Amino acid sequence: MWFLAGSGVFLFFLALSILLQRYILNPAHQLKHAIQQREFFNLYQPLRCSETGQLVGVEVLVRWLHPSEGLKSPVTFIPEAESTGLVKQMTALQLEQCAEELAPVLAELPELWVHVNISAQHLIDRRSIERFIAYKQKIPGLVLEITEGHMLALSSDLIRQSLQQLKAAGVRIAIDDFGTGYCGLSYLRELPVDILKADKSFIAAMGTDAVNADVLKTILTLARQLNLTTVAEGVETAEQDQQLRTMGVDLQQGWHHGYPMTAEALLNTHLRADTSSG
Ligand code: C2E
Ligand code: MG
Ligand code: MG
Ligand code: MG
């Protein structure tokens, strides 16, 4: 009798721990659940013209409002979303949210660049490519950002095919965090890339670290030779803004130009402020 009761308790806890591990504590299951529950939302950070300060685009940055853990940064869950393949579903949901939330913004600025971060996996997935091309109808200024390191993770033939298809459909491609990976010059020349985003570590190094400041100059020279648009990310001060303008960087992004914000805040503050000041 005692034995039976004891094994019953044991089996109960065993089943509970399996359930916990497989479903409740399992990060992939948590992500899937969060997608279903629509716990992800977007913030939009302005990209401004160096010369005029005008709003040219926004970068879409995902956030997770976790029911018990609160607001979570993408660096805590994007790696898991990528390794499980769920990132494709997340991006699909994100595009849907973007098109809906940005509709009033795009009504005023139809050509606004809308930068969406994607992963290497998207570029080898037919449905993702088709989805991006379809969203070009709703978001004419769609730009896809791929981190430099991700480009190298795949065979260049596959990437080239997808990029060429996107290019033919008018979707722009940006290389993110440029200068931190090992993207060779010849590789860059072959790929249909439109924009280089110099990694924020180079902007932070300006004025303090001569070697990294030189790397930034090299990146700008390279971009000019290849006819690419340059973006400096992580611009935090007026001094950096001024220096980057002198160096000829096309666009700037960072706290100095605007924090990541909701679509509503973008419309109310930045867009209205821009149009009213001419
Ligand atoms: P990223 O694409 O390089 O995005 C720029 C990051 O720099 C963002 O961090 C942004 O909030 C932050 N940032 C902006 N201005 C400044 C500044 O002036 N100073 C500093 N120190 N940081 C600044 P966030 O939003 O935490 O995103 C981190 C990374 O997570 C992104 O880096 C991107 O690689 C990834 N990520 C974000 N959203 C998504 C998404 O929707 N999908 C995918 N696949 N990845 C995403
Ligand atoms: Mg990015
Ligand atoms: Mg990145
Ligand atoms: Mg970046």
This model of the complex carries an ipTM of 0.97
Q: Cα-Cα-Cα-Cα dihedral of 211, 245, 255, 188, to 10°?
A: -60
Quote the pLDDT of residue 9: 84
- 0.80 cut: is pTM over it? yes
7 Cα: distance to centroid of ligand 1 (angstroms):
51
List residues near ligand 1 (CB under 6 A): 45, 60-62, 73-75, 78, 87, 94, 117-119, 145, 147, 176-177, 200, 233-236, 254-255, 260
Which ligand neighbours the alpha carbon of 119 most closely? Answer: 1
What is the signed CA dihedral for 73, 135, 131, 196, rounded to 10 degrees?
Answer: -60
pLDDT, tens digit, 9 for 90 and up, residues 85-144: 999 999 999 999 999 999 999 999 999 999 999 998 999 999 999 999 999 999 999 999
Q: Which residues of the chain have pLDDT under 70?
A: 1-3, 20-25, 153-155, 183-184, 271-278
**Ligand 1 atom 23: residue of nearest CA:** 234
Q: How far apart are CA 53 and CA 241, in angstroms?
A: 10
Atom of ligand 1 nearest to the CA of 145: 2
- 148 C-alpha vs ligand 4 centroid, how far in Å? 9
